[in-house]
Chain A
Amino acid sequence: MPRLMDMGLDKLNGMLLEMANLSENAVAASIEAYGKGGKGTEVREWSRRLQTLHHQVSDLSMELIARFQPVASDLRFIKACFEISYGFYRFGRYALDIVEVLDIFGDLSKCDHKAVVETARNTQEMIRMSVDAFARRDVALARRIPKLDDAVDDSYRQNLRSVLDQKKDTRCTLSASLILRYLERISDHATYIGESVDYIVTGVEPSH
């Protein structure tokens, strides 16, 4: 017989899967807009929807705690929902930040896109891994996410140093720096989502 709390937990899970899908699409669309010169119009709507869902996840989590006093794996899942929901919401927010960089900097078609595109490939892989790890409660997959984070961090730092090279086009280096910074933050949140999946399944808290 299903427990009363299961309806709420299923709803939470569904909301997080919707957030996972939206946030993955938002980041992909923002990077495509950078590479192909688009506007990324839909990213704004998705980002707003992610913010709304994030608040709804928080409200429902609090309600489940107040009404059912969850323990053990139920409690760990709800606690992790706060972190995971925040992570997906931030994915959407950084995707919006990337689109706003494109608005402010204008045409970037003549810039070298290589660093951003390569870094975005890693970041999107991290997002996909964090989403799959959450959907399948796959601890082994969650634990592989941080390995990609180092490459994203290196790319971000390398680009920052290149900003100091006065011979390069400021518009290109600055826009790339900002976008790489957002990708670096997205990667960190993907790592945190992976840690939350680990916590749900094993009860082991992240060390930070």
Chain B
Amino acid sequence: MLSGQLEIAHGIYTRDEALRNVSAGPKVEVRQLSAFYGKKQALYDIDLAIESNQVTAMIGPSGCGKSTLIRCLNRMHELVTDASVRGQVLLDGSNIYGESLDPVDVRRRIGMVFQKPNPFPNMSITDNVVAGLKLNGVRDRGRLEEAARRSLQRVYLWDEVKDELKRSGASLSGGQQQRLCIARALAIEPEVILMDEPCSALDPTATAKIEELITELKAQYTVVIVTHNMQQASRVADYTAFMYLGKLIEYDQTTTIFERPKEQLTERYITGKFG
């Protein structure tokens, strides 16, 4: 039933392109990762290999730790008061919690898109897209405008906004705002994009556009998405991780998770027989 050939069926890639895009190995490796809020433990000894140029979905009930986990992947978790992490997250083999890597550089290489579209309300569309570049010291106007155009084109927003780039980012529709936020994440040329329920505030049409975009982005980036919507995970993800009570219960190819999961807990959750 689930043939695993949707990449080709989508028509986004030719068969050769799809084969070329097959992962070359893990981009991010999580090793024995535990996370805490003060004394309260939120994640327990997570081991996970996130494949390069693939979409990996994190699913599980509210409070299972999936958002905490992706916030650990770019050192955002530690920005919460009293939060701490134990274990390793390797980006291309280097521990992002090691002393040799600067957390700001980690967050540049591993970008993030949040649940609620959060454009800077007092900035124009262009300024929203290049805000990260400016923070990284880029001042050249031509380079900034070129980066804005390229990022907006990549999220299929350019044609919709090219004649009113000075408009406030907050004046766009919800779906457009979320694509603007993705464009902002892309502008700083990340290697990994983390998405925390990026469609939960969007209508079905806007959701479909974001999902198509996610499928395209993996040609260039490694994508990790947290979603409550299991159909969304089954549509866009190559790999799916099921989490429960801070533990990784099962991680496999999406086709396997949704057709023949190995763990009873996974089966019960995805079929809605939980609790």
- Residues from chain B with a CB closer than 8 A to the CB of A106 are none
Residue of B whose beta carbon sits closest to that of A78: B1
Which residue of the partner chain, among B230, B234, B259, B272, contacts A76 with CB atoms under 8 Å? B259
- What is the predominant secondary structure among interface residues of chain A facing chain B? helix
The reply on A72 being an interface residue by CB < 8 A is: yes
Residue interface mask A67-95, B partner, CB < 8 A = 1: 00111111110010000000000000000
- Residues from chain B with a CB closer than 8 A to the CB of A76 are 1, 259-260
The reply on A114 being an interface residue by CB < 8 A is: no
The reply on A110 being an interface residue by CB < 8 A is: no
Residue of A whose beta carbon sits closest to that of B235: A69
The reply on A203 being an interface residue by CB < 8 A is: yes
The reply on B271 being an interface residue by CB < 8 A is: yes
Q: Nearest Cβ distance between residue A93 and chain B, in whole angstroms?
A: 26
Residue of A whose beta carbon sits closest to that of B1: A79
CA distance A74 to B270 in the complex (A): 10
- Residues from chain B with a CB closer than 8 A to the CB of A69 are 231, 234
Q: Nearest Cβ distance between residue B27 and chain A, in whole angstroms?
A: 27
CA distance A203 to B273 in the complex (A): 18
Taking a contact as CB atoms under 8 Å apart, the answer to whether A3 and B1 are in contact is no
Q: Nearest Cβ distance between residue B48 and chain A, in whole angstroms?
A: 21
- Residues from chain B with a CB closer than 8 A to the CB of A74 are 271
- Residues from chain A with a CB closer than 8 A to the CB of B230 are 71
Q: List 25 A-B contacts (CB under 8 A).
A: A3-B271, A3-B272, A3-B273, A5-B272, A70-B271, A71-B230, A71-B234, A71-B258, A71-B259, A72-B258, A72-B259, A72-B260, A72-B266, A72-B267, A72-B271, A73-B267, A73-B271, A75-B2, A75-B258, A76-B1, A76-B260, A79-B1, A202-B260, A203-B259, A203-B260
Write the residues of chain A forming the contact surface with B, with a CB cutoff of 8 angstroms.
Answer: 3, 5, 69-76, 79, 202-203
